[in-house]
Amino acid sequence: MNDRPAVLPGQPRNDQGPVFRAPWEAQAFATVVALHRQGLFTWPEWTRVLSGQIAKAQAAGDPDRGDTYYHHWLAALESLVAAKGASSETELIRYRRAWTAAAIRTPHGQPIELRCEDFER
């Protein structure tokens, strides 16, 4: 009998278990843990916001195969950070646009770095 939990289709794994698809997923995960430890929100608050974000995505047609999980995680994080006043929606949008501009400019495989001009778009 296999004592490993069932794997969601599309969920990346290695020999030890689930892994992140990309560095930004690990960073989003770590940010949530750090903000929780700093007392910005409780774990029940986090799970409620994340669950709500996933339900909203499913209602909009997300097939819930596991490959979009950290997109929901990030959306929940942004929502909670704005709701708690740690940042504003306007500031989050500004940074999202800057990161997008920087990513478009950056050759594949190279580190993405923000520049002042990324915020001017």
What per-residue confidence (pLDDT) applies to 13?
Answer: 79
Q: What is the separation, in whole angstroms, between the first and last Cα of the chain?
A: 56
Tell me, what's the pLDDT at 79?
94
Domain boundaries, the chain: 21-61+68-87, 94-121
Q: Is the predicted pLDDT of residue 64 greater than 70, yes or no?
A: yes
Q: Which of 33, 100, 41, 46 is nearest to 75 (CA)?
A: 46
Q: Predicted confidence band at 1 (pLDDT cuts at 50, 70, 90)? A: very low
Higher-confidence residue of 18 and 36: namely: 36
The residue that leads in pLDDT, 121 or 1, is 121
- Residue 82, amino acid: A
Mean pLDDT, all residues of the chain: 88
Long-range Cβ contacts of 35-39 (<8 Å, 24+ apart) = 35/77, 35/81, 35/86
CA distance 62 to 11: 15
**Segment 74-95, tens digit of pLDDT:** 999 999 999 999 999 899 999 9
Is the pLDDT at 14 greater than 70? The verdict is yes
